[in-house]
Amino acid sequence: MVLKPQIFSLLLDFFGEGKPVMSNNDTISDTAILDTDDEVVATIKELIETRVRPSVQDDGGDIFYVGFNATTGKILNNFRLKFRSPPSLNFYVNMN
């Protein structure tokens, strides 16, 4: 694989700065139940984490909790899906 000179230059500059590639900061999971979450949101997050996410991940994708609109009753999620099919037909979908 050949990298374009601009990309190669950016990579060299980044690594030359000596900054860490990975962060040691603890990140909060999108489905972590917070003290500020009401019972409905906590239940939604638990169901996504225990029932929905494992199934979606089994198919090569993932689901991310974004929010819940109590007025409309709609759950907001982002999906990263990979459909199983012959290699020439594989594609990813990002639904916002």
Q: Which of 76, 72, 71 is nearest to 44 (CA)?
A: 76
* Amino acid at the residue 51: R
What's the confidence (pLDDT) of residue 61?
A: 83
Q: Please give the mean pLDDT across all residues of the chain.
A: 78
How many angstroms separate the CA atoms of 76 and 48, rounded?
Answer: 12
27: which DSSP letter? P
34-77 pLDDT, tens digit per residue, is: 999 999 999 999 999 999 888 888 888 888 899 999 999 999 88
Phi (first) and psi of residue 29, to 5 degrees: -65, 150
> Has this prediction a pTM greater than 0.95?
no
